[in-house]
Structures are given as C-alpha cells and as structure tokens.
Structure 1
Amino acid sequence: MRWRRSSPAFAPSSSPPASTSAPCAAWATTLKNRSLQPHSLRQLLLAWLLPGVVLLLVASGTSAYFVASENAGQAYDRSLLNLALALSNQVHSQNGRPVIDLQPQGRQILVTDKFDRIHFAVYGPHGELLAGEEGIFPEDAPSFFQGSSPGLFPKDISGPDAFADGTLFFDSRIKGREVRGVILLTQKDNHELTVVVAETLTKRETQVGEILLSIIVPEFLLSAATIALIMFGVSSGLRPLDALRSQLARRSPTDLRPVGADNLPSELQPLAIEIDRLLQRLDVALGAQRHFVSDAAHQLRTPIAALQAQVESALQERDDPRLSAILSAVRRLARLVNQLLALARAEPGGMPVLRPVELQALIHDHADTWMQLAVEHDIDLGFELEAVTVTGTAILLRELVGNLVDNAIRYTPAGGQVTVRCAPRAGGGALLAVEDSGPGIPPELRERVFERFFRASGDTSDGCGLGLAIVRQIAEQHGARIHIADAAAGGTLFEVIFPPPAA
C-alpha cells in the first residue's frame, strides 16, 4: 500500500481528448443537405425587411433625382427664354422693316458664358436673318423657310399645341455638340419675329452630377441608418427569445422547473407554456423510470444477498467448483444491482441537493473497501491526496471514485499499480485522477467506453459494462468533465475536472 497525505499539485495531462472523426458518408450528406437547412428567424425577418426598405430608398432617391433634374432643367430653360426675349426687345422698325442694332459689345455680353457656348438667330417675318448665325434650327426640322412666318416651321412643330404660349424648347446638335434651345414667336412694332437661342449642355450636365451626388450621399447614409435601425429592432424584438434559449441552455439535466410565461411577450407565451408541459411530462416519465429501476434494485438486493450467503455457506461445507462458479455469478449479479441503483440515483431528477464535499476526506473514508479489493487482485493501490472541496452529493461522488478505482483494479494485471490523486486546480475547481498500469484504452474506444453495457472485444473481466457510464452520468450531474489519456506507467489515466464550488 502506498499512502501519501499530501503531494505537489499536479497538472492534468496535456494530451488532448481523442475525438472520433465523423464518417465520410455522414459528412457528405451534411454538405449535401446544408442548403436545405432552415434559416434563422433573424435571417428570415431581415430577408423580408431589408430588400423592401432598400427598394423603397432606391425608388425615393430615383424620384427625387428626376424631380430635381426636371426643376434644374426648367430653370435653365427659363434662362434661355429670357435671353430670347432680350434679343427680341432689341428689334425696332426702320423704314417699315424690322432691324436690330446689336453692337459687338452687346453681342459679346449676350453670348458670353463661362461654361457653355451660346448660339442665337433672329428672323424677320419672311424668314430673313436679322442677326445671329445660320443653321441652329433643330436637325429634325426639314425646312424652315417657306416664305412666311407661319410656314417657317414644319407641321410637327408649328401646330397650335407646339406654340401655345409662343415658345418651343428643343434638343438638337450644332457643330457636333448636343444643345438645348428655345424658339420664340413674338411681335415687335407689328413685325412677326422668330428668335432661336441654343446653348451647349455643360452647365446642365454639371448640375445633374451635383444633384445626383447630393442625393446619393444622403440616400446612402439614410440607407445605412435604416438598415442599422432594422437590425437593431429585429435583435431587440428577438431578445426575449434569446433570453429563453439562454435560460434553457444554462439548466442542468436535473432542472425540470417550469420556464414560466408571465414575463414573456404574448407571441412567446404559447411556446413557453408548451415547453412547461413538455418538461412536466418529461419529469413524470423520468420519475417513473427512475423509481422503477430504484425499486427493482432494492427488491433484488435482499434475495440476492440471501442467495449469496447460502452459496457461501454451502461452499464452506463442500468445496465444489460448481458452487464457486455460482458464487461468482451471484456476486456479479449483486454488483450489477448495486450499479443499477447508483445509475438510478445519477439520472436527471434523482440527485439530492448539492452541498460542499471534502473530496480528500471522502476518499480517505472509503479507502479500506478499495484496499481490500486491491489485495484480492494483487494490486498496489496508492493515494496522493490534497485538501480540496467540490460541490456535489457525497454518495454519488463516492460512487464515481469507487467505479473508477474498481475499473482500474479489475483491468490492471496482478502486480500492477493504481494511484488515486486529488488536488486543487490553478484556475479554480478540483482535479480527481485515477491512474493504472494496465493495458490502456485505444484512442478510438475512449468515447465508447462510457456507453452503457459496452465491452471491448476480448474483455474477459467480470464487469457488467455500467461502471464508466455511471461515472460520466455522475460527472455531468456535477458539471464536471472527464478526460482519458495515457498514463505514465503505460496504462490509462482518468481525469475528472470539477468546476469551482458554488457560492
């Protein structure tokens, strides 16, 4: 026997827990069906809201752009019309004929523009050119000179609707450049005049660019603000659902209390009510299962104990190999019943209230039982214990340690070693370790050994396959994690990492 009351704190094995890789077929199926997975509720809401909002903003910006462009175009058209009126006002009658006195300085003032080139022409009642330049009529007008003012223009632009107010605005090309112009029909000193003024589109195009920029920037900021507001609103609206999910995620398997629907929005209350009903039905089902296993185990313990006593008595009176085999089977059956009872205690809902438990004292109090088993199997059982406290149930923690020690002793060959350690962890919590010098557990089986009634091929021990399943169940009930690694002596190292004690 090796017994050390205190030993230096030891660190858990750095070997990462083995993980079984998913089969290729299952992985391929997952990739194939990924597109069929439903979207989250947040994604669904955003998928419905954001495109509509963006479409509305684009439509709003487009309409604002066209309205602003139209207004800017009308302002420039009025400027052209004012210039045409100014030219018509320069015409006066001389010897019964219309003439225009346009000095070079005045002409320069009329046509001077920093950005655009201005073209103009003033025609008399018979189509004669009084001032300006030829060839500035719209290109789609086939002939403007028909010998009189009413016939100056083709029918498509000389109708009553075209000159309802005496003006006609047009788009054309002069000397290869796009222009916007106006034709003004007016009278001066009883002379019918036709004034044509056109200018290139530099200012208009610049104005359109400025309008577009002035609309795009605010629309972009408004779009970003609207999208952020929608996302914030969706997240805020789904916050109660996230809170409900977090509440359920924080619960332990033993916590089957009702969720409660009083503080939830009306849309989530039916869901919470159904969850509460499901938890209630689950509690009833688990309780029935737990009570059945517990009652059956309790009822079986008495006759099995009596049978074991009778077989032992008969074996003392007569040394018969058949009686030895029967006694071995009865002991195995008694162990199975005890483990079923422990499993019933470890099931969700079967664990009493958690309390602080001194792990060192608990192991010390039950060491004699494990020492007796170790002596029977010719195993050197040692303890390296430090004072540490965990939160849990003493009877279940004793079952956890006992199953780990029993498992290590049964699978370690005669003459081997088993060491039990406990110590506080540097980051808080406690560490329980059971190390043996047995054959070890292959990495591909380290997850399966926790399954109920699992036994590896070639296993000749008298175990029943429930010990490690009980260990994992109890560990999960206490919020602990189990790690299997290779022991320094060549066997298996079981590490149970407990969280810090609850306040």
Structure 2
Amino acid sequence: MTQRRAPRSIRNRLMRAVLGVVALGWLGTVAMTVLFLDREMSEGFDEELELVAETTLVALETGADHIVPRLVAVTAKENDRLLRIIRPGVPEPQVPWVSPAEDGYFDSMGWRVLRRTGDHEVVEVAHNRNWRHREMGEAAVSLLVLVVPVVGLLIWGLRRALARALRPLDALAGAIAGRSPDDLSPVPETGLPRELHPLAHGLNSYLARIDDLRAIERRFVANAAHELRTPIAAIRARLELGGGAGAEAALPMLDDLTRRVERLLQLSRSEAGLGLGRGPADLVQVVRLLVEEARRPGAVIRFDDGDLERLSLPVDADALAILIRNLLENALEHGTGAVRVVIRPPADGAGPALMIENPTAQTGFVEEAFRKGPGSRGLGLGLSIVAALAAAMGARVEKTIRAGQARVVVTF
C-alpha cells in the first residue's frame, strides 16, 4: 500500500527557493571572481617576471665584467621559478623550455618565460604554469573559506526572516485549528498582513453563510415541530374518544411520534442556546426524578447516588434534565439488560460525573447526527441533543463500548 506524502510547508518551499537563487548567484559570482582573480594574478606574475629580469640586467651591467652563465632558482628549494643568464659565445645552461630568438613573453612546454637582452648578456625569467595554477587555486580556496561563514550567516538570517514573516500565517492557522467544530465566530482580521486579508475575509464570509443556513434550519425544525404538536394532540384525542382496536394500535405510534417531535424541539433549542440558564441545578434530585419517571414494565434501572444528598451544578436544570433523559431513553431503547446510573462526586481535581451503562448488542455508538443505529426505531437525535447541551454547559461526554458493555460518562 502506498503511503501519502506529507504536504510540504510554505516555509520550506520559500527557503529552498531563496537559497537556490542565492546559490546560483553566489556560484556565478565565484566563477566571475575566479576568472578575474586568474587574470589579475597572471598580470602580477608577469610583473614579477619583468621586475626580476630588469633588476638582474641592471645588476649585471653595473657589476663585474666577467659574467658566468648560470641557471638559478628565484626562491630557495623551489624549481618552479627559474632565472637563466646567457652570455653570447658561451654554452647556455639547460632549461625545460625552448627559447625564441627575440625578446618578450612566450609560453613553452608548460612555462611562462620573459626574455630580455642587455648589452653583454641575455636574461630569461620563467614561471612554471602548474605553480601559477596552484597559487591561484590556493587563493580561490581561501576566498571560498572566507565566504562559508557568510553563507551560514545568510541561512540563519533567512530562517529568522521567514519565521518572522510567516508568524501571522502560523497564528491564523493555529487559531483556526484550535476552534471547535461548532465555533462559527468570525476570524479576527485586524493585524493580518495584506496578503492574508482575502483569506480571512473569505473564511469569515463562508462562516457567516454557514451560520445563516444553520439558523434557517433551526427555525424550520422548530416551526415544523411546533406546528406538528397541535394536530398530533388533536388526532390522539380523537382516537381516544373513538376507541376500538385500530385506535389502540395507533396510540403507541402517536406517542412515538410525539417523542420525536419533542426531540426535534429540544435539538433546535439546544443548538440555538435558548433557555440555557446558569442554574444552579441539583444533579442528585434531577437524576432521581428522571429515573423514577423512566421506570416502566420490563425496564430495570439501578441508581447509585454515591451517598450524596445533593450535588449542586452551575447549569440550567431544564437543560440538565433533557440531557439525562435522552441518555436514559437511549440506554433503555438500545440496551439489552439492566441500566446502571451512578453519580460520582468530585475527586482528584476532576469535576462531578454521571455514568450510565448497560449491556448492548451494538458494536459501537453512533456519533453522526441524524443517523440511526442498527435496529433502532429512532431518528438518531438523542446523542445529537446530548452533544449540543453538553457543549453549551461546558461538560465533557465520553462514550465507550467494551466487552458488550455500553458506557456514557458526562463530566461537569
């Protein structure tokens, strides 16, 4: 199976692009510098040949008359820079080049030679070209060594500059990534660079449109559910008055439809945040009342209040009751055994919690809104209502199934 490559970051792309351009410019500069350095050093070497030749001729012409032809090295222990003194009619010292008949510069057999003729002698000064190339290479290496710290400083400065320039983009990405899925508040546009304003403005427009659509949806659901309550109640009253086997069979279906309408209203109000006060609410009392209300033939509910007489929470009592009622109904409808309800007091820095568990034949909780679980007759609204109310209360809901035991823990 092929693995997906991680997306490349803008910072790395900019770093590689800038360093590539700088490297190309630097290499071009180095190449031009080496050519310039080679030309300048060649001129300097030729000037040295000229100086040695003229100095030797002056010294010979002002010295003794007896001139001994010889071949000497310009510097001790080196044979790369040679000086030859020639006197007409006397055997010439052997050299590794072939001399022409006229004066001037010439190249022969890997040597750069300058020939000068005086009144009684001829002087030839020569440089080995390999020696010249070595000297030029050493100068170029020295230049490169001096440039390396500058390149390191450039990379360091470039990283800092990119980090500073991209800091607003990182802050915007972090702010968006840290949002909850239900947070549709606009992204702050103040303080953003000019290039990021279209992105933030477009995102805010998109969030505003989603918020408007959700508001329209909530209003439609609330209005539809509200309008259905009256005709459903009227139909139920008419069936109760009419009696008969058909009416008796239809009443449970109407009751089920009534519960669904009520859940639609609850979902609409919870998502809109309507009627959510700050409390306080007594968790023990609310759970005790709801457990007694939920008891019905064939339903076994075991309530453990944790030996608490009361447990006050800073939440709306009606919203708390709706949340717990949906969890109880979900457990009774989808479970296969006794429902266990436990209140846990605050401990070890954790807030109070409510746990509801029971055996279940399902393999997992359905967390997608409006999706029914296997074998469910409901619309899948219960857990959606629980999630919306818990988010409004600042509570945390954890749902797990292990070894056929379903558990929901609400931590306040």
1:60 to 14, 29, 35: 29
Q: Tell me if structure 1 keeps the 8 A contact 2:113–2:125.
A: yes
1:470 to 370, 379, 385: 385
TM-score if structure 2 supplies the norm length? 0.81
Name the structure 2 match of 1:153.
none
SS at the partner of 1:421? strand
**For 1:220 and 1:354, how far apart are their aligned partners in 2?**
66
CA deviation profile, 1:369-404 (whole Å, cap 9, x unmatched): 332322433313313457878776554443332211
Name the structure 2 match of 1:494.
408
Matches within 5 A, 1:408-487: 408-413=331-336, 416-424=338-346, 426=348, 428-429=350-351, 431-436=353-358, 438-442=359-363, 445-446=364-365, 448=366, 450-456=368-374, 459=375, 462-476=377-391, 482-486=397-401
**For 1:213 and 1:274, how far apart are their aligned partners in 2?**
54
Q: Tell me if structure 1 keeps the 8 A contact 2:49–2:114.
A: no
1:122 lines up with 2:85 in the alignment: yes
**For 1:400 and 1:304, how far apart are their aligned partners in 2?**
24
SS at the partner of 2:263? helix
Q: 1:363 to 1:72 in 2, by over 3 A?
A: farther
Q: Tell me if structure 2 keeps the 8 A contact 1:483–1:494.
A: yes
Cα drift, residue 337 of structure 1: 0.7
Q: Tell me if structure 2 keeps the 8 A contact 1:420–1:432.
A: yes
Matches within 5 A, 1:42-441: 42-92=11-61, 100-101=67-68, 110-124=73-87, 132-137=93-98, 144=100, 149-150=101-102, 167-168=104-105, 170=107, 172-173=109-110, 180-186=111-117, 188-189=118-119, 191=120, 193=122, 195-199=124-128, 201-202=130-131, 205=134, 207-312=135-240, 320-347=244-271, 350-352=272-274, 361-362=282-283, 364-385=285-306, 394-413=317-336, 416-424=338-346, 426=348, 428-429=350-351, 431-436=353-358, 438-441=359-362
TM-score if structure 1 supplies the norm length? 0.68
Q: For residue 23 of structure 2, what is the amino acid of its counterpart?
A: V
Q: 1:93 to 1:297 in 2, by over 3 A?
A: closer
Cα drift, residue 313 of structure 1: 5.6
Cα drift, residue 340 of structure 1: 1.0
Q: 1:340 to 1:217 in 2, by over 3 A?
A: farther
Q: Tell me if structure 2 keeps the 8 A contact 1:298–1:341.
A: yes
**For 1:114 and 1:410, how far apart are their aligned partners in 2?**
104
**Unaligned runs of at least 5 residues, structure 1:** 1-26, 139-143, 151-165, 174-179, 499-503
- Greater RCO, 1 or 2 (C-alpha within 8 Å, sep 6+): 1
Q: 1:248 to 1:196 in 2, by over 3 A?
A: closer
**For 1:353 and 1:236, how far apart are their aligned partners in 2?**
46
Q: 1:453 to 1:272 in 2, by over 3 A?
A: closer
CA-based RMSD of the aligned residues comes to 3.8
Q: For residue 52 of structure 1, what is the amino acid of its counterpart?
A: V
Q: Tell me if structure 2 keeps the 8 A contact 1:423–1:431.
A: yes
Report the count of equivalent residues.
409
